[in-house]
Every structure is written in C-alpha cells, then in structure tokens.
Amino acid sequence: MRINNAWILLLLLFSIANFSCNRHSPDTVVEIRGSKFYINGVPTYKGKTWNGNSIDGLLFNSRMVQGIFDDENPETRDHWRYPDTGEWDPERNTDEFRVAMEEWYRRGILAFTLNMQGGSPTGYDISEVLNSAFRSDGSLKPEYMARLDRILERSDDLGMVVILGLFYFGQDQHLSDEQAVINAVDNTLEWLIKNRYRNVILEINNECDVDYDHQILQPGRVHELIERVKQTEADGYRLKRINEAEGDVARFNALFTEYQKAPEVTRRRIYIETMQAVMPNIASTVLVDDDMTGLLPLLNLDGQKGQ
C-alpha cells in the first residue's frame, strides 16, 4: 500500500493528539453563570419545575463523603470490616460507590459531596479515626488520589459534578502546621489541573465555625484559602494550556526531524503506531488501497469491539 504525503501529515498530527491524550480525557465542565449552575454549557434541570417552582439552574446533590474513605488507625480500622470477608477494604468501598453513581444520576442527582478528610461512618465523634488524603506536610497520599481519580473519571463519564471537600474538623490536626494546610490546598488543586478535571467544585472545609485546630481554617481567615484557590485555578489552567501546546510543538518538531532524516521509515512507523492506537476502538474496519479496484470490508461478525 502506498502512503502519500497528505496521509502521513494527517497521521503525524493524529499521533501527536493521541500522545497528548493517552489517559482518560475529561470533558464535563461545571460553571456558575449568574445565579445558575451549568453543566457543559446547559443549565441544570433546564426548563423543569417541581411543585410549581422552577428548578432551572439548581444543583441537587447528596452528601456522600465516604467514597474514598479509609481508616489508617489500626485501633479502629476493624470497625468498618465487611461482614462477608471480616476485613475492611477501601478499594471495594470505592468500587461499590462507583457502581451506585449511575443510579443516583438516573434519579436526578447531578452532584455529590466527597471528602479528602473525615468523617466517621458512625457520626461526629471521629477523633480516633485517621481518615485523611493528606500526609502531615500536606502532600497527597497516592492511594487516596487513585481512588479519587476513579470516582472523578466515572462522574465525568456520567456528566455529574463532585463537590470536593478538603478539610474536616477532627482530622485537620493531622496536618502539622499552617504551611501544611496551604500545601494541601495547592497540591490538590495542582492534581486536579494536571488531570484536567473541570467537573469539580472545591469546598475548603465543612462548617468552618466549629472546632478546627488551624486558624487559617477558622471563620476569620478561611477566605484566604478561598482566594488562593480562585487565583491558582485561573493561573494554573492558563499555564497548563501553554505547556501542553509547547509540548505538542516539541513532539511535532522531533517527529518531523526524524521524517526528514528517513522519510520512508518514519512514514511507516507513524502509520503503524497510529493504527495501533486507532484500531482497538473501531467496531468494523474498511481498508482502502490505491492498488485495489474496490473496498474490502472487514466485518466484525462476533460483535466484539476492535476485533
């Protein structure tokens, strides 16, 4: 099969795009316009009413904070063990949470709250439970973030919004000092920006007028963190887009340099790599060859994607 220059340029551009999107690429975006919530540019519950009242632009949500819950205190961890296994399993908890999300959405819930800290499944007395996605210095615990990623990915697929709470009283004391609190905010926001999630509303802390250890989480100063998030978000997404564009240009230039050195070899390499990326997602395939007099359809007889 001959591969002409027009096709190789198209494949080159596709390979750049595929390289940049080699993981889940979120596309659900939540916005506030005036007094209304929008998801993907459309008002929530557009044109709908309940008992004669408009619910257009409202965001019905449920407080489901335990989706990434774990308890790292061996003294209390067994309190949450599953009856059928006799052990607590935070991964199973997240798996079951993800399965339930579709039913919530089907029944009209467009958002839910998820917490990076707290609370306790038994109520407000959580002083003994150790449930925090942050280390003492404010860095992120990978196992918590992996569970969060799975939930955010599923919520993005469904078109749902996550109200992500960062700090919870009875748990913020596990952060060593004020700088650790600031680090936790910055690290969480950086993680969200890096992973391109735009379906998240950040809640700095739940009920800031109760018993928080750090002054910056108390009513007189919590606005400092809110302003920090707003500024960092604006700067962070702008910087990320610039970096991604520069990275795409650099990858294009590198491939083009290789193409100039060995055109035929590079053509075939790009073609093969692009086909490897594309073919698994295609249900049926049609091959077109310049030397053929017609089309050769390769039908997917068993109904399996990518076969």
Q: CATH number for the domain including 38? A: 3.20.20
Residue 42 lies in a domain: yes
Residue 107 lies in a domain: yes
Question: Which residue has better confidence, 76 or 269?
Answer: 76
Distances, alpha carbon 93 to alpha carbons 14, 53, 81, in Å: 38, 37, 11
Query: 250 is written with which tokens?
Result: 């650099």
pLDDT, average across residues 193-219: 91
Question: Torsion angle, CA of 177/175/208/199, rounded to 10 degrees?
Answer: 120
Residue 187 DSSP one-character state? H
Beta-bridge partners for 50: 53
pTM (two decimals): 0.71
Exposed / middle / buried, residue 21 (Cβ in 10 Å: 0-12, 13-18, 19+): exposed
pLDDT in tens, 222-241: 999 999 998 886 665 554 55
Residue 131 lies in a domain: yes
Highest mean pLDDT pick, 23-27, 116-120, 168-172: 168-172
Work out the pLDDT band at 23, boundaries 50, 70, 90.
low
Residue 176 lies in a domain: yes
Exposed / middle / buried, residue 48 (Cβ in 10 Å: 0-12, 13-18, 19+): middle
Query: By C-alpha distance, which of 76, 121, 69 is closest to 96?
Result: 69
Checking if the pLDDT of 12 tops 60, the result is: no
Lowest mean pLDDT among 28-42, 71-85, 191-205, 279-293: 279-293
Residue 271 lies in a domain: no
Residue with tokens 């929008």: 38
Question: Torsion angle, CA of 125/83/106/117, rounded to 10 degrees?
Answer: 30
Residue 307 lies in a domain: no
Query: By C-alpha distance, which of 133, 162, 192 is closest to 62?
Result: 162
Residue 9 lies in a domain: no
Work out the pLDDT band at 270, boundaries 50, 70, 90.
confident
pLDDT of residue 3: 47
Residue 291 lies in a domain: no
What total of structural domains would you count in the chain?
Answer: 1
Measured between alpha carbons, how far is 148 from 69 in angstroms, rounded to an integer? 10
Query: By C-alpha distance, which of 141, 151, 156 is closest to 196?
Result: 156
Domain extent at residue 99: 19-244
